[in-house]
Structure 1
Amino acid sequence: MHAVEVDAIAVGATATEERREMRRTLRDLLARRAGPAGSRAAVATAEGYDAGLWTALAGTLGLPGLTLPERYGGAGCGLAELALACEEIGRTLTPSPFLATAVLAAPLIAALGSERQRAELLPRIAAGTLTCALVLPGGGVGVGGGSGGGFEAGIGAGGGLGVGGPLPFALGLTGDNTSLPWSGDGRSGGIQATRPDGTHWSLYGEAGHVLDGHSAGLLLVAAHTGGFPRGRTLLFLVWPKGEEASSGAPGLVRRREATLDLTRTQATVQLRGVPAELLGERDDGVGVPGVLEAVGRTVAVALAAEAVGAARGALDRTVEHVTTREQFGRPIGSFQAVKHRLAEVLVAIESARSLTGYAVAVADGKGEGGGGSGPWGGGPEGAVAAGLALAQALDAQRAAAAETVQLHGGIGVTWEHDAHLYFKRATADELLFGPASRLRARAAEWDGLAGGAR
């Protein structure tokens, strides 16, 4: 059995020579500097990633600024190029600040920041000298398991709504992010923003599972303000290492968490009267949920492409193993049952790749519904396509990881084997960005099938 190579993220878009060259360059760099062995070494560092590789990715390919406008030092590329980069990073499970910085934080700064903030921050992000983390509180609304308000799949004892994790909910992927005060209810929980002196903002609260939160040079914090009747969610800038003050941000504590997926670092962020700067110039919260939701579609496509890459990486390793491991005098990959199992995984991966490609096409205004404009285009069709692509990719990644463990036999069930890096990634992604069932339910709402379309 041989692995089938499909050059398709450009997924769904026409693969131009520039994109093919980008893929070749990125894959070659990651093959030399990353991979499971490199990932294990990188996560053991204080940053949780290979800082030298990050510098190379920024300098050689301009990856952090891939989709940022050229006037801010970016490459001005579209969603197809972003998906391509995410697929290659996922294939090797490369730990990097790319997701937290370039996919999550940078578009929010570009959309909501003042011109001064954009001019100061985006060029540094594009150059790779500034990393960011998006801090989203997970408490305050009683979703999931009771008094803490944790966001979990399913209905918790506290009357939770089963809307998934804080990230997909805030981005509108697993629920309507205007329906619940997810950043805090104005009385308790979440992160609260106040102006004690009437002028300067101060943040108080805590958030967990913050991607790259322990090492980021800038925190983009979602906080609730205005009390319960007039409550609203705003985004704030916090400099942990003293960009604005010589002693750093007083009252800020960041603690790296022990995680299931070693290749995706997370942190707990505590804020106790931390000074912060409002992102943008308006403090009425108008437009914030809509921008989060729009950015969420890009995030969903990027995550889907990354999951497709990870699933393909797991499949390729499994194919390599079954073609060399012999039983009864013949490679186990020659047995029909093994071929069928791997073929089913390949079908799942290619289905996820196709859906991701369709989501890219819709965002670019080339889907059946048309009407897109840039990476946030597509209207309701774009929301449906992005959610379904991510759901399918999470399922494919889980199936590939499971077969990787199973078909590696005894060595596959040992934590030390590389197969478990893919298994842990699949499991953790479902917890962080899913569940897939909730992503599909939300897509059905957008499509008008569940009575909840907006």
Structure 2
Amino acid sequence: MAMRETDEQRALRDAVAIFLDKRSSQARVRDLMTTDTGHDTSAWREMAEMGLLGLTLPEEVGGAGAGYAEQGIVMEEMGRALLCAPYFSTAVLTPRLLAAAGDDRERSEILPRIAAGELVVSLAYAEDSSTRPPVRVDTAAAQIAGQWSLTGQKTFVLDAGAAGLLYVLADTDSGPSIFAVDTAAAGITIAALTTIDLTRKQYRVEFADVAARLVGTPGAGIDVVTTAVDHAAVALLSEQAGGAHRAMQMGVDYARTRMQFGRAIGSFQAVKHLCADMLLEAESAISAARHVAAAFDETAQSRWSDLALAQAYCSEAFVFTAATTIQVHGGIGFTWEHPAHLYLRRARTDAQLLGPPTYHRDRYLQLKGV
């Protein structure tokens, strides 16, 4: 599979990098992570004008019709910059969900609003302590006089505080199904969760007879959410790889410039080994993420097993690299003022966001028939 970037892809990467230099500086990230929603509406509008929110959406709904590779480029740069915005939930997860649901009316109404930057959307599917779609769905939907209502709760809901719309997995007589819920509806309660990653907001959402509308085919909810999460995972790999690469660069740059005993600390063998290990993990994560994106663009037969293995690898590579760069930085790396800990926080969260590495390894073995 070809992994060399085209001229258009390089131009996309350069444009995103310039935007992030302006809109996602360390100072700006720190400002946004202290807010309730972590959402900069002016930056969001600029992302819409650049076409980033509709990057992979079909052209008929205002999108660019780009593929996994292009979305990977954007997510890789966003991972480097620790972008604090509801991009993954709105521009990655939601379009994948609507594509899997096959509800043309919903897609024609919602996707143009996403592309235009008019609407922030997220998925609410996780329950209890698992970030994977649940086997048993406790949130229930009931239909009375033709109107659906939801009762129950969801957790680990990304960006719910900034969202105007949620797609919720709820059980019905026909089986688990997908419902659209307005976050301003009566009976809904959105509470922020305390997580280690302050740059990616997560929430618990409770529903008490909340009005909803059915999306897609009744009873197909588990398959729809699982498909959406798995396709969105391709983009998450790129974010992890970009974050790992930036963390590695931070450590190597510090090792080159920090002087101790009259010489750069990077000249000491122990530090050299740490930097070499970081380089290996970061570059391998980049290769794995780009390989999987290319595999999905080409619908390669091995794409699902490649994805499962890469999810486990990139998760651990990001954690390792972020933790090791703190070690290279020494005492300053542990301080609140230094950005190294922000990358470790994001790495820890990303490693659990769509399932832990152990889950993906088990899945890889199952796909390989072991």
Same fold (TM over 0.5): yes
- State which of 272, 281, 285 in structure 2 corresponds to 1:339: 272
Per the alignment, residue 339 of structure 2 pairs with: 418
Change (3 A) 1:72 1:80: same
Q: Could you tell me whether the CA contact under 8 Å between 2:158 and 2:201 is conserved in 1?
A: yes
Instruction: Find the counterpart in structure 1 of residue 60 from structure 2.
Output: 71
- How many Å separate the matches in 2 of 1:310 and 1:137? 25
Distance 1:251 1:392 in 2: 41
Counterpart of 1:409 in structure 2 is: 330
Q: Find the partner of 2:289 among 347, 356, 366.
A: 356
Return the offset for 1:322: 1.4
Distance (Å, rounded) in 1 between the aligned partners of 2:245 and 2:126: 33
Cα distance in 1 between the residues matched to 2:164 and 2:93: 14
Q: Does 1:99 align with 2:88?
A: yes
Whether 1:299 and 2:208 are equivalent positions in the alignment is: no
2:25 maps to what in 1? 35
SS of corresponding position for 2:12: helix
Structure 2 counterpart of 1:219? 166
Looking at secondary structure, tell me which structure has more helix per residue: 2
Name 2:39's counterpart in structure 1. 49
CA shift for structure 1 position 14: 2.8
Structure 2 match to 1:395: 316
1: CA distance between counterparts of 2:365 and 2:5? 31
Unpaired segments ≥5 residues, structure 2 = none
State the AA in 1 paired with 2:304: A
Distance 1:79 1:72 in 2: 18
The letter of the residue matching 2:202 is Q
Q: Cα–Cα, structure 1 residues 289 and 206, in superposed 2: closer, same or farther, change >3 Å?
A: closer
Deviation at 1:358, TM superposition (A): 2.2
Q: Give per-residue Cα distances to partners, 1:8-51, cap 9 Å, x unaligned.
A: xxx96230101000100110110122132211111233431222
Alpha-carbon offset, residue 439 of structure 1: 0.8
Q: Please list, as runs of the form range in 1=range in 2, the aligned pairs for 1:2-13 lying within 5 A after superposition.
A: 13=3
Alignment partner, residue 111 of structure 1: 100
Deviations, residues 406-445 of structure 1 (Å, cap 9, x unaligned): 1111111223321110111112222333321221111111
Number of the residue aligned with 1:235? 178
- Residue by residue over 1:81-107, the C-alpha shift from the partner in whole angstroms, topping out at 9 and shown as x without a partner, is 011111000001011111001111122
Aligned residue in 1 for 2:116: 127
Range with greater deviation from structure 2 (416-425 or 81-90)? 416-425
User: How many angstroms apart in 1 are the aligned matches of 2:101 and 2:349?
Assistant: 30
Task: For 1:354 and 1:338, locate their aligned partners in 2 and report how far apart those are by CA, in whole Å.
Answer: 24
Distance 1:333 1:318 in 2: 10
Query: What SS does the corresponding residue of 2:53 show, helix, strand or coil?
Result: helix
1:85 aligns with one of 51, 55, 74: 74
For the pair 1:268 / 2:268, whether they are aligned, the reply is no
Write out aligned runs for 1:67-216 (5 A): 67-138=56-127, 150-151=128-129, 165-166=130-131, 169-170=132-133, 180-181=135-136, 184=137, 190-197=138-145, 199-216=146-163
Counterpart-to-counterpart distance in 2, 1:114 and 1:292: 14
Q: 1:24 aligns with which of 6, 14, 18?
A: 14
Q: Tell me, what secondary structure is at the counterpart of 2:144? A: coil
CA–CA distance in structure 1, aligned partners of residues 126 and 151 of structure 2: 11
Task: Report the CA distance shift for 1:434/1:36 in structure 2 as closer, same or farther (over 3 A).
Answer: farther
* Partner residue in 1 for 2:355: 434
Cα distance change on mapping 1:361 and 1:113 into 2, 3 Å: closer
Deviations 1:308-335 (A, max 9, x none): 0111111111122111111000111122
Query: For 1:250, what is the secondary structure of its paired residue?
Result: coil
TM-score (norm 1): 0.78
SS in 1 for 2:176: strand
Distance, in Å, in 2 between the alignment partners of 1:124 and 1:112 is 18
- The residue type equivalent to 1:391 in the other structure is A
Alpha-carbon separation, structure 2, partners of 1:432 and 1:111:
20
Please give the TM-score of this superposition, normalised by the length of structure 2: 0.95
Per the alignment, residue 330 of structure 1 pairs with 263
SS in 2 for 1:383: helix
CA contact (8 A) 1:137 1:191 kept: no
| 1:447 alignment partner in structure 2 | 368
**What is the letter of the counterpart of residue 279 of structure 1?**
V
Alpha-carbon deviations, 1:131-150, whole Å to 9, x = none? Answer: 10100131xxxxxxxxxxx3
- Which letter maps to 1:410? G
Which of 279, 304, 317 is 1:383 aligned to? 304
**Secondary structure of 1:350's aligned partner:** helix
Pairwise CA RMSD: 1.7
- CA–CA distance in structure 2, aligned partners of residues 423 and 438 of structure 1: 21
Mark the runs of 5 or more structure 1 residues left unpaired by the alignment: 1-10, 139-149, 152-164, 171-176, 185-189, 242-248, 366-371, 373-377, 450-454
Give the conservation status (yes or no) of the 8 Å contact 1:237–1:276.
Answer: yes
